[in-house]
Amino acid sequence: MQQFNLLLASLPDGILLGFVYGLAAMGLTLIWGVMNVINLSHGPIIALGMFGTFFLVTRMGLSPYAGLIPVAVIGLLIGILIYTVAVHRVINAPHLSSLLATFSVNMIIIGLGTAALTTSPYNVDFSAGSIKLGSTTLLGTRLIAALVSMLFTGGLYLFLYRTRPGKFIRAVANNRSAAELMGIPSTRILALSFGLGTMLAAVSGALIATFFPFSILAGGSYELKSFVIGVLGGLGNPIGALFGGLILGVIESSSQAFLESSWVPVIEFGLFVIILLVRPSGLFGAKK
């Protein structure tokens, strides 16, 4: 009974966190879905989003939520830059080439970040209140982060299905050669897709910074979660990523009602292996 109460108390937190995890994973899976590139610079981009919030809040006095707009724009531009400089030339090469290219970007960002920001933990001293619900406390920052994640997911869905560039992205994802024959500028669409992926990563980082401390190395763990979520939701399926995030969030919180927190990675990556073995297309289907 005690464990059941703990489970009930922990579930809301897990669900709220799951939305943010899902948003982070959506960026990774979008890039994979459109161009078959595993973006290993995903973690540092999340960390840059965290620092974006930190500097906008502490140096410019902005609300972290108003700061999401510049973080999103800068995230988009950084993604386009990374695509242009490091990914475009290897987009048709074997996967290992793009993997190494994005890994190099990962190491460059971490190296520069370490030199400029050190690896000390940073903290955004911000509170959005809390709501007491029985034995659990819902933090305002997590509630808002979940809402913002849902908004971004909805926005992404509308962009992909209701706008011309979004349709271009889907066309390029389905068949790049055919899309090019139809006059779609695939290079620009690929750069835009990569930018959107990094934008989602940066925004998720900016939201995480409102409730967790962070350092330039902090993105690594969220990148790993994004891989697990990507596989859960189906690689290349951005909307599936949101559900994958929710599942991971719930597993994380509920498992800690019964086990110590150090068991969480064991469960997460155990699940990762099982899904790969049993249902490699993910629970919600991979890119068709």
Contact between 270 and other proteins by CB under 8 A: the answer reads: no
**167: which residues sit within 8 A by CB, 6+ positions away?**
160, 161
Contact between 130 and other proteins by CB under 8 A: the answer reads: yes
Beta-bridge partner residues of 214: 122
- The pairing of strands 130-133 and 136-139 is antiparallel
Selected from 13, 35, 203, 282, the binder of other proteins by CB under 8 A is 13
Give exposure, 163-174, as e/b (b: 16+ Cβ within 10 Å): eeebbbbbbbbe
DSSP 155: H
| Helix residue ranges per DSSP H, 127-218 | 140-162, 164-174, 176-181, 186-208
Contact between 89 and other proteins by CB under 8 A: the answer reads: yes
Instruction: Pick the closer one to other proteins by CB: 69 or 93.
Output: 93
Contact between 185 and other proteins by CB under 8 A: the answer reads: no
- Interface positions, 249-268, toward other proteins (CB under 8 A): 252-253, 256-257, 260-262, 264-265
DSSP secondary structure string for all residues of 65-124: TTTHHHHHHHHHHHHHHHIIIIIGGGTTS-HHHHHHHHHHHHHHHHHHHHHHH-S--B--
Residue 134: left (phi > 0), alpha (psi -120 to 50), or beta?
A: left
CB of 115 to other proteins, least distance (A): 5
Contact between 63 and other proteins by CB under 8 A: the answer reads: no
- Interface positions, 95-124, toward other proteins (CB under 8 A): 97, 100-101, 104-105, 107-108, 110-112, 114-115, 118-121, 123
Q: Interface mask (CB under 8 A) for other proteins, residues 27-56, using x and -?
A: ------------------------------
- Scanning 136-144, 160-168, 171-179, 278-286 for contacts with other proteins by CB under 8 A, the matching segment is 136-144
- Contact positions toward other proteins, by CB under 8 A? 2, 5-6, 9-10, 13, 17, 85-86, 89-90, 93, 97, 100-101, 104-105, 107-108, 110-112, 114-115, 118-121, 123, 125, 127, 130, 132, 135-137, 139, 211-213, 215, 217-218, 221, 252-253, 256-257, 260-262, 264-265
